[in-house]
Amino acid sequence: MKPAKKSKIKLPTAPKDLLADLVLANKILFGLNVVDAFGHISVRHPNDPSKYLMSRHLPPGMVTPKDIALFDLESTPLTHSDKPQYSERFIHGEIYKLRPEVMSVIHCHARPLIPFANAKGAKLRPMFHMCGFLGCGVPVFEIRKAGGNTDMLIRTPQLGKALADTLGDKNVVLMRGHGATMIGISIPEVVFRAVYSMENAAIQMQAHLLGDRGEVEFLNAEESELSARGRNVPRAWSLWKHQFGKA
């Protein structure tokens, strides 16, 4: 009698172009100082919305196509499971669960964003036409409310869900004492939002130093809406592809 064949779950394969874009996005984020040795970007699987793709535990600047692992929305690795994974992967799985339209997520510790996460009463608001996506509001996640005193990292599904709940229907959430997380409907869009959130924070800080009693004029709701229609994303992505694609 023949031995029964080992059952093997068939995992969805990812398009090569998407893997290439995910690797490129890692390089762009590192090249533009959005991430350093830490931080990560994921993309929802285009053929199976209950899965997402993200590098195994590596500094973003070192990621290659063979390092991209597949995860379910519980953030359990379905490939590369013999290798260490990012401890904060739950950020990604829990946001994909809560926001079905979201196709890509970035988590970073970009320094210019942190003052706006920590300073009481400070609000990150759209300074210029590249940042209309901030006009709907930027909530701040307070991990103490969700988990008491911690090492500040999103190490559990419960903390991931609390973060996703704070993000709500917005595009960016700041994380007190830690960093930020942003979402998009594509890899280029979320990379754009990460880069320009950081730029916005830097120039907003300068404006507060210059303005009369620190007062600053921001884009209003309609200006934000009109300038956030995504026309800037393809041009920025093509430049970054040219700049970092061969690195």
Which residues are 70's β-sheet partners?
Answer: 53
CB of residue 45 to Zn ion, shortest distance in Å: 23
What CA dihedral angle connects 57, 59, 60 and 65, to 10 degrees? -50
Strands 140-141 and 104-108: unpaired
CB of residue 11 to Zn ion, shortest distance in Å: 27
Of the pair 21, 88, the CB lying nearest Zn ion is at: 88
Give the footprint of Zn ion on residues 203-242 (CB under 5 A): none
CB of residue 178 to Zn ion, shortest distance in Å: 6
CB of residue 36 to Zn ion, shortest distance in Å: 11
Burial (CB < 10 A; 0-12, 13-18, 19+), residue 2, is exposed
Number of residues that bind Zn ion (CB under 5 A): 1
Task: For helices 16-31 and 187-210, give the axis angle rounded to 10 degrees.
Answer: 20
One of 88, 101, 142, 215 is an active-site residue; which one?
88
- The interface mask with Zn ion, positions 68-97, x = CB under 5 A, is --------------------x---------
Phi, psi angle pair for 41, to nearest 5°: -130, 140
- Pair of tokens at residue 130: 């590249």
CB of residue 159 to Zn ion, shortest distance in Å: 11
217 is catalytic: no
- Kindly list the catalytic residues: 88
Query: What residue ranges bind Zn ion (CB under 5 A)?
Result: 88
